[in-house]
């Protein structure tokens, strides 16, 4: 029997047939995979309560010719505390959705797995606002995908230390000479620029180690909402629910 143990987190599940589940896993060894959890919906199944979104641990899988089958599970973190906070839970589901969207089967996805895990842990901390965690996560996703903005020099002429005028369409900073449409750029103060630079250059383990002022958070929101709209053409259900929560 062709078995292996993979370490990963469940991104989503869906019912298959009467008793089975289809599970999407992001793993350290195989990247993103889809696997079947046979009998997981039976009340007496040992996998009841284990094959749910957020569950992180070791999965023993059977590797078939065209599919994977989960045979046993050893969960080390259910992230169960997220479910006790509606806002944090939907931020968590949003992170799962984004990860599922940007990850590709057959790709090496260790960095995304580390980012997702650390971001979910950050949601459990009361020291960092969930909204800030969201913008850090989004920007670091773009970095991992090779789409980080240029934040150290003008994206057009490569002049160093340009004014902090951020162009979403150009993907970074513009100097005064190259900024032909100032009304279309976002003027950043030094604190916001430093925050963006720190996120881009930081290791994943040190990402969630700071807070920012309300003004910096406002500018981060403006930058990331426009950047995401430009470079990630996808509507996420959990984000729609979050926005509805803010309005209520």
Half-sphere exposure of 180 (CA within 13 A, CB side): 5
- Are 194 and 135 within 8 A, CB to CB? no
CATH 3.40.120.10 for the 81-247 domain, yes or no: no
**Mean pLDDT of the 70-86 span:** 93
Judge whether residue 224 has pLDDT over 90.
Answer: yes
pLDDT at 248: 56
pLDDT per position as a tens digit, 82-134: 988 999 999 999 999 999 999 999 899 999 999 999 999 999 988 899 999 99
Residue 210 confidence class, pLDDT cut points 50, 70, 90: very high
pLDDT at 5: 96
Judge whether residue 247 has pLDDT over 80.
Answer: no
Fold for domain 3-78? OB fold (Dihydrolipoamide Acetyltransferase, E2P) (2.40.50)
**Mean pLDDT of the 13-38 span:** 95
Question: Which of 39-43, 101-105, 190-194, 226-230 bottoms out in mean pLDDT, i.e. has the lowest?
Answer: 39-43
Domain chopping of the chain, boundaries: 3-78, 81-247
pLDDT at 49: 86
- Cα distances from 72 to residues 34, 54, 122, in angstroms, run 15, 17, 28
């Amino acid at each position: 029997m062709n078995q292996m143990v993979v370490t990963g987190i469940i991104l989503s599940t869906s019912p298959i047939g009467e008793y089975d589940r289809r599970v999407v896993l992001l793993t350290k060894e195989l990247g993103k995979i889809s696997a079947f959890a046979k009998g997981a919906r039976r009340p007496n199944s040992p996998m009841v309560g284990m094959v749910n979104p957020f569950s992180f641990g070791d999965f023993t899988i059977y590797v078939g010719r065209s599919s994977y089958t989960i045979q046993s599970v050893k969960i080390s973190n259910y992230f169960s505390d997220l479910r006790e906070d509606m806002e944090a839970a939907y931020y968590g589901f949003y992170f799962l959705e984004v990860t599922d969207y940007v990850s590709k089967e057959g790709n090496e996805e260790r960095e995304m797995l580390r980012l997702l895990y650390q971001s979910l842990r950050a949601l459990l901390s009361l020291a960092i606002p969930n909204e800030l965690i969201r913008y850090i996560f989004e920007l670091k996703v773009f970095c991992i995908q090779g789409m980080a903005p240029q934040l150290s020099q003008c994206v057009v002429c490569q002049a160093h230390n340009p004014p902090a005028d951020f162009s979403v369409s150009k993907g970074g900073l513009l100097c005064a000479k190259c900024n032909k449409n100032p009304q279309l750029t976002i003027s950043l103060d030094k604190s916001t620029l430093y925050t963006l630079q720190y996120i881009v250059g930081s290791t994943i383990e040190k990402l969630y180690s700071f807070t920012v002022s309300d003004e910096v958070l406002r500018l981060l929101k403006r930058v990331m909402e426009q950047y995401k709209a430009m470079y990630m053409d996808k509507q996420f259900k959990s984000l729609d629910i979050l926005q509805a929560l803010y309005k209520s």
